[in-house]
Amino acid sequence: MAVDESPEEQPVDVDPLLEAIEYCYEQGWTDGLPVVPPTPALVERFLAETDRDPDEVLVRLAQFRRAATVRQVAVSAAMAGCRPEYLPVVLAAFEAVVDEGWPAAGAWQSTTGGGPLLIVNGPVRTELGFNSRGNVFGPGFRANATVGRAMRLAILNVFGVRPHELDQSTQGSPGKYSLCIAENEEDSPWEPLHVELGRSPSDSVVSALHTRGIDFVDNRHTADARRILNDIGDSIARTGTVLRLQKRVGVVIGPEHAQLLAAQGMSKRDVKEYLVANSFRRVDDLRRAGKDGEMKIPKAADSSTGSMHGMAEPTGRAEGDPGGDERFRVLHSPDDVLVVVAGAPNAGVSAVAQPLGFPPRFPGRSLVRPKR
Amino acid sequence: MADTILLERRGVPSAAICTDALRASADAMAAIQGAPGYRYAVVPHPVSSLDADGLRSHARLAAPQVLEILRGPGGGAGPGD
């Protein structure tokens, strides 16, 4: 009788781990998916990746009567499945989310139901394996998936913003699980976002935009830069997203579109200016959606309406009776448009990130501070 | 909810008005602010899409509740009362 002489594998006792995962569920610590149990030893491995004091307060939010420390964010990162060396990026991401200004204004509790879109720039993208190319909004990449998820776990557990309680989201959004991309700086014809924001190319930066939804713009139908931007502008000005007189917007341009725009002489600033001028709805479209009153559609020749001045194009109709063909522009300034290049250079696809209203700081941003 | 509780702590008589759809988060916020059971006026949801007549109707529902909260059981209300 033949004898199998290969060494017998020692069975691994996974029961304690499974019990710990179930314990985290029982405590209400998860986003619905299993978390990595944040044992003290694991959290210490994270804290060893930063020079920052574990008790340093990153933000204190009065409405919750709670503050977030470096240690608590490290716990969230461990639970999310991050590797310890991701911690400086997670801390920068958290600071960028706070920097945007929405958390203190109650955005995490809002019925509008968005979550932070994180954008990673600089060398840390390749050092830690952030995806900036194909499936950039989709699954498959640990750094993107877990850094984004760490934000949600911090919001849930550090501040207690849970659905059906403090989180009043009417429908929420899939991005609330995790929404983290890296800019495809290599395939972009323009300067990367963090350089535009005043940092050095050798810096690594996380930017944040509290986002309600990502709308795709599929245009493989024309090589005309203006028509592509008109298509993007149509999504920017979708009536369902028009709530106030002012809005800001993120545009994640696919490399194919970006290279096509640049080849026709458009700088990033040109793209922003074109989108401001061409992201509009006609007054009749707003009327059909019942939003003409809410928008206080200005009188055609009335310059006394302050911030509304110039948003509608006069058509010669009587004052006080704006015509249905007049344009209601949803953007006021190129500075209200964020342009990032991400995705694979394999199709004419871009996306519009619709943020919550008019973010106080646009975008929120923070430098990644690696351990010295 | 946090605002009215904080105002009352500063001695400013205050009353919050909330729609019935948002009671769970209102109660959660009151508990966080150390005022579990904090009283507030409740009106039916929704409010934002009401016309002028609908708003008047809601105001008529809210007004007596607001007065009762402001007067309080002993003539004054406070968080936790």
- Using a CB–CB cutoff of 8 Å, tell me whether B31 touches chain A: no
Residue A58 to residues A69, A151, A190, A350: CA-CA distances in angstroms? 5, 13, 33, 34
Q: Which residues of A322-345 are buried (b: 16+ CB within 10 A; e: fewer)?
A: bbeebbbbbbbebebbbbbbbbbb
Q: Which stretch of A79-93, A239-253, A259-273, A285-299 has the lowest confidence by average pLDDT?
A: A285-299
Under DSSP, is residue A117 helix (H, G, I), strand (E, B) or coil? strand
Give me the pLDDT at residue A311, please: 46
pLDDT at A2: 54
CB distance A204 to A367 below 8 Å: yes
A10, part of any domain: no
Restricting to A residues 162-191, those with a Cβ less than 8 Å away from any Cβ of B are 164-168
pLDDT of res. A14: 82
Q: What is the largest CA-CA distance in chain B?
A: 37
- Give the model's pLDDT for residue A320: 52
Terminal alpha carbon distance of chain B: 15
Domain that holds residue A135: 25-279+330-367
pLDDT-based confidence at B64, cuts 50/70/90? Answer: very high
Is A167 within 8 Å of B25 when comparing Cβ atoms?
Answer: yes
Inspect the interface and report whether the beta carbons of B25 and A160 lie closer than 8 Å: no
Helices (H), B2-78: 2-9, 23-32, 52-71
Assess contact for A268 and A191: CB atoms under 8 A.
yes
> Cβ of B32 and A64 within 8 Å?
yes
Which segment of A327-336, B13-22, B52-61, B65-74 scores lowest on mean pLDDT?
B65-74
Count of domains observed in chain A = 1
How far apart (Å, rounded) are the C-alpha atoms in residues A19 and A227? 56
Report ipTM for this prediction.
0.78
Mention every residue, 6+ apart, whose C-beta is less than 8 A from residue A129: A141, A142, A143
From chain A, pick out residues whose CB is under 8 angstroms from the CB of B20.
none
Q: Of the ranges A29-33, A70-74, A76-80, A323-327, which one carries the lowest mean pLDDT score?
A: A323-327
CB-based contact A168 B22, cutoff 8 Å: yes
The string of pLDDT tens digits covering residues A119-136 is 999 999 999 999 999 999
Of A125-134, A259-268, A305-314, the least confident: A305-314
More confident residue, A87 or A312: A87
Residue A81 falls within a domain, yes or no?
A: yes
Per-residue pLDDT averaged across A290-298, rounded?
A: 70
Return the residue of B nearest to A167 by Cα: B25
Would A289 be classed as within a structural domain? no
